[in-house]
Structure 1
Amino acid sequence: MTSDDEDEELRRAIALSLQDVHGSPLPSDNMASRDVNKSNVNNNTANGKKESAAMIQYGASQASAPHKRRHSSSTISIESDDAGSKKQKLDLEDRKSSPARPDAPPPFPNVRGLLRKTWVFGQPRDNDIKIEEVLRPSDLRLAVLSAFQWDMEWILNKVKPTTKLVFVMEAKEEEVRKQWRTDADHYKNLVLCFPPMPGQVNRMHSKLMLLSFENWIRVVIPTANLVPYDWGESANPNNRVSGVMENSLFLIDLPRRSDGKLTARKDLTDFGRELLSFCESSTFPPYVIDGLLKFDYTNTKHIQFVHSVGGSHIVGPAETGLFGLSRSVRNLGMEVERRKALFVQPSTAKGSEVHVDYATASLGALNYPFISTFYDALLGREVKQPTKGATSNPIQLLKRVFRIFFPTYDTVATSTKGTDSGGTIFLMSKWWNADTFPKELMRDHVSRRAGILSHSKMILVRHVSVASQGDASSSRGAGSIDPAYLYVGSHNLSESAWGKLVTDRATKKLKINCANWECGVIFRIASPEQKGEELDFALCEGGSLDSIPWELPGRPYENHRPWFCMEDFP
């Protein structure tokens, strides 16, 4: 199974499943009007089922959308009359349940970074965050928003009409881009950006927010798309019993330079440099690129921005995908050889192994050679193209140290809203049934919040004492020498997301083909046992094992099977 085959299967599956994730059609993303009383009928079909353009961006399937209706997205709804004037209306009941901003927040409170799970309607508030608290719409001047799936009306309702907006979207065909730009002309404050999608590039899957305020900028790397479902809300006003989907995010607030100058590129931290490079590759508007240099990146020395730039890249000049991940691990000081040297204790003379827990919302056609290469990247090792069918690490080692968290059918079926909620959790049964699929690595992905499903993409990487293998994957780090680091971002576990290693036919050099645009962040985290001098690194708030939102060590599948979106979604 090639990554191209994976992309086509994923295209079909999501187009089918997202037509009615919430049990009712979603509001339209037709940007020519924000009148919730008008409707557009979407005549596009896939295998006889309507696609929801309000939920998903796919190139040619973006032209129209299903019936619009008012929804319970909370806070402000904006209506436009035919003359284009905007009226603001506040839903007081929704306002109580979803405040637009925290009470009396400090100017830029998260200078070291913040890790949070997203709020879910009907769940107790506990170290979570709402999209209004992320956006802070009362103070927001410019928002650059990147996502794979969109509910345009919903996200436009979350900001003031005067806020300047840049939407970074997927549109592979030029004809589709022209249509979107024509529609966007109706809004003087809205600019659209379409990252290049040549040849084999099939997904603009990255999720990123750059939120500019008077004296600071907020950089947000969420796992959520820009749809109410992913932020714990419901698109159906008649069903407000509970949200069902959780996501996660990392954010950090950076102050504007007091001297008014631009930061020289050579003086940027690794995080700042890679963020800027990714934005340039994505063809963000020049004023956004220049604007990023107006801020102070000093407080990002403890984090790394990782990405997959869509396209084919010769290894060396442009390190992205698996190669960028490996470099970022080394830059963070978390390469396996260095960590073992620091943390092997006399009582654990046999040393440690690096354990990986990968929570994902989508799986490709996996095999052990890919898992082994990916494992090397997570350890900061040199990434090499594997010999066909061979692995760079023993398979028995991978079975012991690598765990993949993906929900079983039963977990989805018994969630708050049952099988209707599984439309964005993707795995094909034919990939699972292949002899090469690493079934032994699978664990049930169960949220710590009862009845909630997860769309998070997170990787926990930690060193575990060989003498404590029985505790290696415990939820609170028993057996851990050093919890090492955490990844949060848009990458699911697939070659499409992290890149496929191939030999260039013309130059015979190694290159990486990234079928998706993706981005994320890695940063060190602490175990409950670590304190004092052991914490000589900067930690973001929430940067500990206690913030992991899913159950560890996780139940092995045993006699259960995964959730198959194509077969199981109603």
Structure 2
Amino acid sequence: MAENWAADINGDEGEDEALRIAIALSLGQDPTSASIDLTQDEPTPEKTPEPARNEVLASAPAPMSSLSALGLDRKKMEEERLARANKRKAAELDSTAAETVRPQQRQKMSEHVPERQTAIRGGLITTSEPSTAPLLPFPKGVVRKTWVYGQPRLGDDIKIEEVLQKDKLEIAVLSSFQWDEQWMLSKIDIDRTKMYLVAFANNEAQKEEIRNNVPQNRIRFCFPKMSGPGSMHSKLQLLKYSNYLRIAVPTGNLIPYDWGETGVMENMVFIIDLPIFETDEQRKAQKLTLFAEDLFYFLSAQGLDEKLISSLQKYDFSETSRYGFVHSIAGSHSSEESWRRTGYCGLGRAVSALGLASEREIELDIVTASIGAVTYDLLRGLYFACQGDSGLKEYQLRTAGRKGKSISGGCNDTEMLDKHIRVYFPSLQTVKESRRGKDGAGTICFTSKWWSAESFPRKILWDCQSTRMGVLMHSKLMFIRQSGSGSGRNKNFAYVGSANLSESAWGRLVKERGTGNPKLTCRNWECGVVMEAPSRPKKAASNDSSTSSVEDMGVFAGQVPLPMKIPSTPLDQDRTPWFYMDG
């Protein structure tokens, strides 16, 4: 089933080239070279493009997308461990008096704890209530912007330290496309925390090299299977504490500038904290939510240890019933069970399961950091998925058109897609005016070749300017609002995750050779979360197709921070997109 899957995707050549260039840039290599050495430890200074070389602070190590260089100085680690142990003992002595304070004298806090207070208490909040269950920082789930150096904190952002809470963290399952190993280990106490890193390796020899370079009793690896070219692009984090599990889904990688430490780039992160069951009876009685089932399905497909996955059932997933876990699994998916669960087909499944499906017209606003060889086929598939379709509607319209049959059915009209879809991507002008200019946009990818192609839907592109002055975005978001006529309330929801706007990320439904059955092909590993926003009264559809209004997008207030300025400016020949190769 998998041997011919790559041939079924349109634009393969262009996306392969973009992937090759993007990896080269992330490794600090010359993107014009014929091959990429994924095992190179250090970028060659004379060949390092300026955007990659200046991407991080001078004091921070350069990020890598391979973990082959994760060599650790054991002697130095031991010295640092002893120093930390001595520091902890001194802190314990200093805190003895505080620990003897009676519980009823301690300050009570609500479950919605500001991050600053959470950080002070290490993320675990105690209370004088009789119940032993902890009050969790984010029991219902939240979306936060990443903190950015030099920007005011307005209550809607979070630091990597506040996500990880290293002083309490026992087990961390981390995945990323790019890694800065030294920076990552500075955020985690390796003496306290066992780590599972979900990463890409080029071959078995590289896997073995990576494993042998770390203390295997503290760090283990999971290498998801790749079917041909593609990226291990998901950024899921599973963080275990003494009595709760934190699930975090960032849009950024484990590198300092994606977490705001250089002051030039922002991202987003979804977080939810799940309490541990107090008894085995409670655990056995749990009926897993669809979110939990799809999360476990994704982790199992990646090849994560089954015992670790099974251990997650010790936590109460009931609050995840309001969310959908959406993923893309690299490879070909021929069985109905598999193709309906992943890619844009899985997005439609989640929308339907959450009760958000509707044939009513929608407004679809997409924030992306990279754009592939996009066609109206992909836009149509995403549009229908956001209406709750399984993927078959777009596939049937596409194949009918190729056979010369008459086509009817709403959004097959490209003018309709141009009217209702807006994709936010920075212009060259926005990049030049950002805090680091062109040097700060090394991970924002698009090419003039695709922009100039006849098949590219140029009318959907709008300038992406952050609400934070001079900051660029590596975020991947979708905002969906129902706007057409019909009975019932308007349903609005959002997606936060790792998927950019490309077929590699969302997949393509094709007919399997031999059987004629549907088959979904994806190149990348991706994951994200779908969440409903508060409903709003219906209002008459506007004839202004320029952009969605601030009032309309306000339905997401309190649910997903709106990162871009609206209304925006369309990208055209006068205000061109940022092209990472010829910008």
Q: TM bucket by the smaller chain? A: 0.7 to 0.9
Structure 2 letter corresponding to 1:173 = N
Query: How far 1:516 moved relative to its partner?
Result: 0.2
* Alignment partner of 1:310 is 2:336: no
Structure 2 letter corresponding to 1:8 = E
User: CA contact under 8 A between 1:354 and 1:463: conserved in structure 2?
Assistant: yes
Identify unmatched segments of 5+ residues in structure 2.
1-9, 31-37, 54-60, 88-114, 126-133, 539-554
C-alpha distance in structure 1 between counterparts of 2:413 and 2:469, whole Å: 37
Match of 2:18 in 1: 9
1:328-373 deviations in whole A, cap 9, x for unaligned? 0000111014xx5xxxxxxxxxxxx200000000000011122112
C-alpha distance in structure 1 between counterparts of 2:19 and 2:436, whole Å: 23
* Alignment partner of 1:156 is 2:191: no
User: CA contact under 8 A between 1:151 and 1:228: conserved in structure 2?
Assistant: yes
User: CA contact under 8 A between 1:17 and 1:565: conserved in structure 2?
Assistant: no
* Alignment partner of 1:432 is 2:451: yes
Match of 1:221 in 2: 249
1:520-556 deviations in whole A, cap 9, x for unaligned? 00000126879xxxxxxxxxx9864772111223211
C-alpha distance in structure 2 between counterparts of 1:259 and 1:485, whole Å: 35
State the secondary structure of the residue aligned to 1:181. helix
- Quick one: which of 147, 158, 170 aligns to 2:176? 147
1:251–1:499 distance in 2 versus 1, CA, 3 Å: same
Query: How far 1:412 moved relative to its partner?
Result: 0.6
- Quick one: which of 489, 497, 510 aligns to 1:489? 497
Matches within 5 A, 1:200-279: 200-234=228-262, 243-260=263-280, 263=283, 267-279=287-299
Matches within 5 A, 1:443-522: 443-464=462-483, 482=490, 484-522=492-530
1:367-392 deviations in whole A, cap 9, x for unaligned? 11221122111111231222286685
User: CA contact under 8 A between 1:497 and 1:518: conserved in structure 2?
Assistant: yes
1:86–1:545 distance in 2 versus 1, CA, 3 Å: closer
* Alignment partner of 1:387 is 2:392: no
- Quick one: which of 139, 162, 165 aligns to 1:136? 165
**What is the root-mean-square deviation of aligned Cα atoms in Å?**
3.3
C-alpha distance in structure 2 between counterparts of 1:332 and 1:16, whole Å: 39
State the secondary structure of the residue aligned to 1:102. helix
1:41–1:280 distance in 2 versus 1, CA, 3 Å: closer
C-alpha distance in structure 2 between counterparts of 1:79 and 1:63, whole Å: 15
C-alpha distance in structure 2 between counterparts of 1:284 and 1:45, whole Å: 39
C-alpha distance in structure 2 between counterparts of 1:48 and 1:329, whole Å: 41
Match of 2:351 in 1: 329
C-alpha distance in structure 2 between counterparts of 1:143 and 1:133, whole Å: 14
C-alpha distance in structure 2 between counterparts of 1:123 and 1:191, whole Å: 36
User: CA contact under 8 A between 1:369 and 1:389: conserved in structure 2?
Assistant: no
Task: Name the stretch that deviates more: 224-233 or 102-111.
Answer: 102-111
C-alpha distance in structure 2 between counterparts of 1:150 and 1:100, whole Å: 29
Query: How far 1:258 moved relative to its partner?
Result: 1.3
C-alpha distance in structure 1 between counterparts of 2:246 and 2:147, whole Å: 19
Bigger proportion of residues as helix:
2
Query: Structure 1 length normalisation: TM-score?
Result: 0.78
C-alpha distance in structure 2 between counterparts of 1:543 and 1:555, whole Å: 22
C-alpha distance in structure 2 between counterparts of 1:109 and 1:545, whole Å: 16
State the secondary structure of the residue aligned to 1:290. helix
Matches within 5 A, 1:38-437: 41-42=42-43, 55-57=63-65, 63-64=68-69, 80-81=74-75, 84-87=78-81, 102-104=119-121, 105=123, 106=125, 107=134, 108-126=136-154, 127-161=156-190, 162-184=192-214, 186-197=215-226, 199-234=227-262, 243-260=263-280, 263=283, 267-318=287-338, 319-337=341-359, 340=360, 353-384=361-392, 385=395, 386-387=398-399, 393-437=412-456
1:168-217 deviations in whole A, cap 9, x for unaligned? 10113222111111112x352111111111x3252100010000011110
Query: How far 1:48 moved relative to its partner?
Result: 9.4
Query: How far 1:47 moved relative to its partner?
Result: 9.6
1:111-148 deviations in whole A, cap 9, x for unaligned? 11011100000000011000111111111111100111
State the secondary structure of the residue aligned to 1:120. coil
Match of 1:567 in 2: 582
State the secondary structure of the residue aligned to 2:380. helix
User: CA contact under 8 A between 1:497 and 1:517: conserved in structure 2?
Assistant: yes
1:50–1:187 distance in 2 versus 1, CA, 3 Å: farther
C-alpha distance in structure 2 between counterparts of 1:12 and 1:404, whole Å: 23
User: CA contact under 8 A between 1:115 and 1:543: conserved in structure 2?
Assistant: no
Match of 1:557 in 2: 571
1:38-97 deviations in whole A, cap 9, x for unaligned? x96456998999988952325xxx6459xx9xxxxxxxxx9752685434579xxxxxxx
C-alpha distance in structure 2 between counterparts of 1:64 and 1:6, whole Å: 27
State the secondary structure of the residue aligned to 1:86. helix
Structure 2 letter corresponding to 1:485 = F
1:262-285 deviations in whole A, cap 9, x for unaligned? 846982000011001101111112
User: CA contact under 8 A between 2:348 and 2:389: conserved in structure 1?
Assistant: yes
State the secondary structure of the residue aligned to 1:125. coil
Match of 1:547 in 2: 561
